[in-house]
Amino acid sequence: MGALSFRLPDTKHQRLKELAKSKGVSINHLLEEATTLMLAEFDLKTQFEIRASRGRGNEQRGLELLEKAKHG
């Protein structure tokens, strides 16, 4: 498992502490969940773009559907 260290403004750090506490988890767990969601979204977008590019002239339509799905 890798370790990552980064700086946050004190106000943001405090807000993350409060959010983690309200969920009953550590900040580490909270950030792990957030990155999992972001990576899943990235992977889905990448897969969708690959499939859209394989479409026979329908790449733009595929990307439009992706954008529509992103915004509900």
- Predicted pLDDT at 34: 95
Give this prediction's pTM: 0.64
Q: pLDDT tens-digit profile of 11-70?
A: 999 999 999 999 999 999 999 999 999 999 999 999 988 887 787 777 788 788 888 998
What amino acid is encoded at 42 in this protein? F
- Predicted pLDDT at 61: 82
| Domain boundaries defined on the chain | 36-72
For residue 47, give every residue at least 6 positions away whose Cβ sits within 8 Å of its Cβ, in sequence order, or none.
Answer: none
- Predicted pLDDT at 71: 82
The DSSP string of 5-51 is -----HHHHHHHHHHHHHHTS-HHHHHHHHHHHHHHHHHHHHHHHHH
